[in-house]
């Protein structure tokens, strides 16, 4: 179907891959894997003809249609969801348009002309029917709904959609197009679990050839008949799914190691012989021949596959913050112009973030998780209420789409330097090195970086910005599996405050201690990690949501974290999240091995956690009141500092001597 021969590509003197030979056979489902920056996206662009290879050829049979979902979708505006998706059926629609044109001509034609037209019309109509032309709208709706769109949202403008939903529209268009070969570049990045499972099912029955780039092990396992691994050494294709690929890689590595050992032994023997007898006349000929063997062996020396380089870092001790690190009070947030089309996401929202909290925001896509994170980060306008960062809070925001937070025109080094006011350039370079930007990589334009590289750069900036509140929207998106494991460990050890959004269940389980469910403009906090949250949902055991501003008894002050977590009796008819989907959130190649925990283990863990929570309640209450006291003192400190900074203050000697706050107003 598609045939690559001797394909090579590099940028600026650096080779990405060489001599790639690939025969993509009909009706196979191939997972294309490899570390970030290996050139997977580049290889797709070469196949689609967007990019010319430096060497080699790509042959695609003439009648074969190829569809491509890029890794980063250009945003669409001014057209409805339905319209954009319908574009996928352009071939059918074109026939429909010709039919309409024929109808117009038939209305005025007569005699033999009319007969000819009617004949043509009949043929075309049959073809239209065979192509499913009368079912266009049904198919459009079926696919969009499968990808999670509510029926009443289909006529809305794409501009209102978040990046994740726009991506789904593009995917829907492509699935409707139904090309012979479907090239998908990280299609799961913006899906929630439900849609991910739907897509997996859809693709499994896809009549055609699939090639998909993904770092999601369970997705690859469910679908792939082959795994193609791209590395500096070229492309190697393995038969079987991802697990089987891992096994084969391990076996290959073991075999190579054995071969290498044998060779080493032989070389040592030969070398000894040569050293000993080289200058002995009687053995000179033998020594000479061994020397030849030696040279030959050294030339054909078995090379082990290069170990995958991976990022390595730990988050530094964050600067100390106040007890309450961020408050949203009575916030109203809506998208679109005021009026009937306005979409209100939050109304009277009261939220308080307490130091050291590690929270995952969960809820269906489009429920407002990213919006809440942006409100906390202070990067989106809102229509009412306040956002108050605590006295010493320093917030770092990691956007879901790195194009939103990186300046694509800068170089990697410029972007990093701009993020760090205090660090020396050598330090900045060393941090970049830890995120695998070494040597000339730091002079690359941000715009040309691969998805994973953009993500790594954003993470490097996180280390260069001394922050004690990390707000992370899908921080593992685009990251290869080994890098995910490193990020997970770093966040697990971090002592500051973290709020994150992720669709990687294992990642959330390892990092967070609290889950906030976001739905219908309300936030419901659950203590414990993501598995605990799923367990409680399955039991229908749901805590009460945070009070809205107007029903809060202490208007404007959300209840403190510890007392928030008390469970309310299960509310009738409250929509619970869907059944926990059984997915293996697998390990990275070369990363730590993520093993799926058994039901029993999970239950025991959850019980232990609950016990620990109960046992430590008095301590946590004590801590809470101590921290409150600290909070009051911190506020006073801030007030005193403000007064010290005010020149007028020194003109009031009484006040200076007294050291009382005097006329200085307490910060609210």
Ligand X SMILES: Nc1ncnc2c1ncn2[C@@H]1O[C@H](COP(=O)(O)OP(=O)(O)OP(=O)(O)O)[C@@H](O)[C@H]1O
Residues in contact with Mg ion by the rule CB under 5 A: 40-41, 71, 450-451
* Residue 245 neighbours by CB under 8 Å, 6+ apart: 31, 33, 227, 229, 238
Q: Does 458 bind ligand X (CB under 6 A)?
A: no
Of the listed pieces 254-262, 420-428, 442-450, 534-542, which binds ligand X according to CB under 6 A?
Answer: 442-450
- 331 - beta bridge partners? 349
Of 141-149, 315-323, 444-452, 570-578: span binding ligand X (CB under 6 A): 444-452
Give the residue with the Cβ less far from ligand X, 219 or 526.
Answer: 219
CA distance linking residue 402 with residue 399, whole number of Å: 6
Q: Which residues contact 50 (CB under 8 A, 6 or more apart)?
A: none
At its nearest, how many Å lie between ligand X and the CB of residue 445? Answer: 7
The strand pairing partners of 59, in sequence order, are 3
Told to check if 448 binds ligand X by CB under 6 A, we report yes
Q: Does 148 bind ligand X (CB under 6 A)?
A: no
CA angle, 459 as apex, 453 and 465 as ends, to 5°?
Answer: 140
Burial class (CB in 10 A: 0-12, 13-18, 19+), 605: middle
Residues in the chain: 668
From 168, 323, 369, 478, residue interacting with ligand X (rule: CB under 6 A): 478
Q: Minimum distance from CB of 515 to ligand X (Å)?
A: 29
User: In the window 274-303, what residues touch ligand X (CB under 6 A)?
Assistant: none
| Nearest residue (beta carbon) to ligand X | 452
The torsion defined by the Cα of 93, 98, 101 and 102, in degrees rounded to 10, comes to -140
Which residue's CB is nearer to Mg ion, number 40 or number 401?
Answer: 40
User: Which residues have C-beta within 8 Å of that of residue 164, sequence separation ≥ 6?
Assistant: 190, 191, 365, 366, 370, 400
What is the distance in angstroms between the CA of the first residue and the CA of the last residue of the chain? 67
Asked if 11 interacts with ligand X (CB under 6 A), we say yes
DSSP assignment, residue 191? -
Which of 214, 352, 371, 450 touches ligand X (CB under 6 A)? 450
Nearest to ligand X of 39, 88 (CB atom): 39
Residue 505 belongs to what H/E stretch? helix 505-511
What are the residues whose beta carbons fall under 8 Å from the beta carbon of 431, sequence distance 6 or more? 313, 416, 423, 460, 463, 464
**Taking CB positions, which residue lies at the least distance from Mg ion?**
41
Q: How far is the CB of 482 from ligand X (least distance, A)?
A: 12
Q: Minimum distance from CB of 184 to Mg ion (Å)?
A: 11
In the numeric block, which tokens belong to residue 406? 């990186």
86 binds ligand X (CB under 6 A): no
Query: Which is nearer to Mg ion, 4 or 362 (by Cβ)?
Result: 4
Q: How far is the CB of 71 from Mg ion (least distance, A)?
A: 5
Q: How far is the CB of 12 from ligand X (least distance, A)?
A: 6
CB 8 within 8 A of CB 53: yes
Least spacing, CB of residue 15 vs ligand X, in Å:
10
Q: Which does 591 bind (CB under 5 to 8 A by kind): Mg ion, ligand X, none?
A: none
Which of the 8 DSSP states describes residue 441?
G
In the chain, helix, strand, coil percent, each to 5? 45, 20, 35
State the nearest-atom distance from the C-beta of 32 to Mg ion, in Å: 9
| The one among 451, 527, 528, 545 contacting ligand X by CB under 6 A | 451
- CB nearer ligand X, residue 90 or residue 404: 404
In angstroms, what is the minimal distance from the CB of 455 to Mg ion? Answer: 11
Asked if 468 and 318 touch (Cβ cutoff 8 Å), the reply is yes
Residue 36 near which of ligand X, Mg ion, none (CB within 5-8 Å, type-dependent) = ligand X
- Residue 562 parent element (H or E): helix 561-564
Where does this chain bind ligand X (CB under 6 A)?
Answer: 11-12, 16, 34, 36-42, 71, 444, 448-453, 478
């Amino acid at each position: 179907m598609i045939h690559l021969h001797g394909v090579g590509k590099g940028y600026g003197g650096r080779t990405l891959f060489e001599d790639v030979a690939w025969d993509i056979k009909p009706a196979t489902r191939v997972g294309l894997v490899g570390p970030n920056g290996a050139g997977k996206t580049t290889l797709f662009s070469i196949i689609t003809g967007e990019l010319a290879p430096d060497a080699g050829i790509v042959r695609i049979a003439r009648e074969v249609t190829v569809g491509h979902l890029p890794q980063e979708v250009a945003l669409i505006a001014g057209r409805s969801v339905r319209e954009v998706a319908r574009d996928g059926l352009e071939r059918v629609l074109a026939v429909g348009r010709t039919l309409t044109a024929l109808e117009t001509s038939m209305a005025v034609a007569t005699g033999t002309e009319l007969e000819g037209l009617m004949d043509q019309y009949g043929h075309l109509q049959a073809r239209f029917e065979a192509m499913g032309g009368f079912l266009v709208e049904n198919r459009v709706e079926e696919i969009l709904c499968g990808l999670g769109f509510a029926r009443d949202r289909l006529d809305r403008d794409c501009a209102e959609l978040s990046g994740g939903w726009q991506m789904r529209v593009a995917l829907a268009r492509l699935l409707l197009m139904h090309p012979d070969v479907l090239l998908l570049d990280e299609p799961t990045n913006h899906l929630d679990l439900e849609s991910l499972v739907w897509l997996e099912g859809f693709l499994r029955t896809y009549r055609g050839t699939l090639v998909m780039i993904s770092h999601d092990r369970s997705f690859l396992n469910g679908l792939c008949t082959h795994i193609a691994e791209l590395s500096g050494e070229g492309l190697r294709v393995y038969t079987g799914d991802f697990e089987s690929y891992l096994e084969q890689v391990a076996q290959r590595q073991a075999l190579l190691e054995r071969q290498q050992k044998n060779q080493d032994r032989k070389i040592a023997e030969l070398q000894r012989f040569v050293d000993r007898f080289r200058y002995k006349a009687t053995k000179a000929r033998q020594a000479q021949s061994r020397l030849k063997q030696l040279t030959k062996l050294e030339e054909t020396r078995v090379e082990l596959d290069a170990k995958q380089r991976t990022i390595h870092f730990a988050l530094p001790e964050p600067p100390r913050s106040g007890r309450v690190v961020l408050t949203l009070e009575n916030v109203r947030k809506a998208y679109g112009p005021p009026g009937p089309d306005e979409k209100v996401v939050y109304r009277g929202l009261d939220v308080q973030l307490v130091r050291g909290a590690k929270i995952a925001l969960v809820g269906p896509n489009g429920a407002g998780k990213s919006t809440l994170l942006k409100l906390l980060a202070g990067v989106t306008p809102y229509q009412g209420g306040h956002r108050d960062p605590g006295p010493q809070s320093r917030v770092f925001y990691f956007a879901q789409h790195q194009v939103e937070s990186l300046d694509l025109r800068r170089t990697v080094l410029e972007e990093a330097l701009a993020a760090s006011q205090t660090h020396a350039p050598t330090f900045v370079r060393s941090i970049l090195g830890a995120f695998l930007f070494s040597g000339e990589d730091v002079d690359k334009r941000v715009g040309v970086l691969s998805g994973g590289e953009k993500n790594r750069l954003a993470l490097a900036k996180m280390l260069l910005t001394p922050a004690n509140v990390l707000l992370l929207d899908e921080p593992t998106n685009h990251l290869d599996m080994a890098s995910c494991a490193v990020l997970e460990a770093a966040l697990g050890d971090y002592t500051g405050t973290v709020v994150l959004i992720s669709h990687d269940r294992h990642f959330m389980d390892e990092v967070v201690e609290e889950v906030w469910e976001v739905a219908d403009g309300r936030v419901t906090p659950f203590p414990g990690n993501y598995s605990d949250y799923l367990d409680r949902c399955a039991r229908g055991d749901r805590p009460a949501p945070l009070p809205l501003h107007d029903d809060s008894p202490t208007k404007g002050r959300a209840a403190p974290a510890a007392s928030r977590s008390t469970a309310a009796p299960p509310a009738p008819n409250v929509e619970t999240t869907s059944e926990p989907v059984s997915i293996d959130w697998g390990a990275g190649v070369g990363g730590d091995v993520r093993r799926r925990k058994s039901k029993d283990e999970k239950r025991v863990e959850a019980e232990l956690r609950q016990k620990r929570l109960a046992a430590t309640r008095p301590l946590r209450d004590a801590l809470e009141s101590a921290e409150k006291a600290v909070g009051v003192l911190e506020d006073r400190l801030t007030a005193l500092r403000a007064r010290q900074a005010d020149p007028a203050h020194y003109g009031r000697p009484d006040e200076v001597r007294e050291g009382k706050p005097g006329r200085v107003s307490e910060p609210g």
